[in-house]
Structure 1
Amino acid sequence: MKLKIGELAKRTGLTVRALHHYDKIGLLRPSVRADNTYRLYDDDDVLRLYRIQALRRLQLSLDEIGVILDDNNISMANIVSQQISLMEKQAREALALRDHLLTLSEHLAGQQLPAVDDWLTALEMTVHSEKYFTPAELRALRKRRSAVDTADKSALIKALHKLMEKQVSPQDELAQSLSQRWLQRMQEESGGDAAILIKFYQMQSEEKALQLFSGLDQATLDYMVRALACTTLPLYEAYCLPDEMEVLRQHSLTDAAHWPALIAALHLECEAGTRVSHPKVQELVKKWLALSSRKAGNSPGLQKKIQQAFAEHPVLRMGIDNRLFDYLQSALKTVAL
């Protein structure tokens, strides 16, 4: 059987334009050239086309299909398994989006109209949150999220933006107060779970669309971290001399914003069960020690005082739960050895 391109299009339901495209990219080329210069498709070509159509139903790209058809060593069982995993992930995301839309529907029924950007922020969180949170964490978050005043969070961020525009120092009382209120809202949403809180930070820091809709970009996050660091300074006064307090105050304004990303990275390794002796963890701990040294103005004596305060005041361990604290202490011991 030899078919012209139009005949093959009719039999398969594809357009002539699609077949020309397959020819152009080398996915399916007519094998036979007739005397009248027509290029014809033979039985093998038709069989290849049916294979292409079958693989397209697995939502594979044309490039991926070409590789599969041209490599006899590729396992179709693995391809199908991967596609099943992808579809299951998409199904979970669809269900998460459905849950969010149901919550939104309840708000609308109660005439609690959300701002467009508030809704888009929640939508972006729904789409991306599976990358950062476990299914159990997501279920708990959805239950608590409806009770959190998102409008208040938005107002706090806008107020912080105004302070930043005026170049108000993070040491300012208003900057600290607004940052503490925002942290309180996040703690309410996370149920006071330090691990979830640091995951929130990581997601907000990495997802640019979420930053765009929420207004909480990296610069605002850093500003709040510095302001929050300033709020904890009084806890060190029982351990440190006045000149040492000035060193800590300067650190709050210059280096404090480096801590959350480092804590998030350590949390990932802790959660993954990575050994503290693993080179990746060792590298993170070295960064921790270097940042701790800068915080103490390279003074071993002040560094010991900071470590004592850190161990005795859990509030200083923002984003660090007991499990991560123990993991960090074990890792620090391996570096010291």
Structure 2
Amino acid sequence: MNKRATIADVASRAGVSRSAVSKVLRNAYGISEQMRAGVELAMAELNYRPQIAARGLRGRTYTLGVVMPDLRNPFFPDILDGVWSALGGTQYQPLMAVRHAADETEQALMEMMLDRKLDGFVLIAPMVSRDYLWRLATTVPVVMLGRHETGGDFDTVNNDDEQGAFLAVCHLIEQGHRRIAFFSFEPPEDGAVNPVVYRQRGYIRAMQAHGLDNFLQICKTRSGGSDDEDRQLAHSVLTAPSRPTAIFAWHDTVAINVLAEAQELSLRVPRDLAVVGYDNFHISALPQLQLTSVDQDAHTLGAMAAELLIERIEGRTEPVHHTTQPTLVVRGSSLTSAAASP
């Protein structure tokens, strides 16, 4: 097995000192382009890769931790695309981790990544406790997406979830619907910062703004519910004596499960039931679905989070909390000429 090249090997090949190689690695001031080119050529010829731990002892590792809830949600890869695009042309590289539902799993992942001397974290919809999160942000730069929290030493990037829900429900009302149900879930501990709470506020605000307080119907599964739970909830709601004529789901996956159950019950969409989701998955535009959905622009969210994190790493100390504006993408699942009367 070939020995891994060291910084001394690179210096010898390039004909420079080890401190000069270190300066190139750190992108330090005062290195000529000729010397930089020679060192980079030597590193390429030797297949030299700096050890992260060693780089961490000298300063930055140029490695960012990205922690996400799961890989099955089509929304998260779009966020990652935004992160990667923002890191293009920089020295920073993302190291990704996927948690399971348990808070302890997510915290253990973060601790493991901290041991590798990461420069900062992008946390996507983190579920760790408020106390842990606030402590973490005092030791390493942190940017969060999908958690409406302020006050700590961290940055956040969020969609205006309340306004997105308001747009969705107003659209259904404009289509003639009155009995509009909101499909939600019970948020975990620290649930007040969860996007679903803000979307519920938007649903209620839209219904009240149109004098539909008597038709408020909030239907919930447990936190982290499964597709089967979504289908069971949809079945019970859609077979009730006075079923809603429209359902606004907090998430596209839930909306797709509602569409599946409606088909099972021989309900025609959108004539018998209009459905709107949230997140605007790519598959929502498929002809078989044509799901109306609220678009958060996941790419922009990811890019903005990465940019804010680099700013933090490079010296900014004041917290930044950025909110993007949603748009409603109207498709066939909600366009109905005449909704059933109350």
Query: Which bracket does the TM-score occupy, shorter chain normalised?
Result: under 0.3
TM-score by length of 2: 0.27
- The alignment's TM-score, normalised by the length of structure 1, stands at 0.27
Question: Larger radius of gyration, structure 1 or 2?
Answer: 1
User: Higher helix fraction: Structure 1 or Structure 2?
Assistant: 1
Higher normalized contact order (CA 8 Å, seq sep 6+, divided by chain length): 2
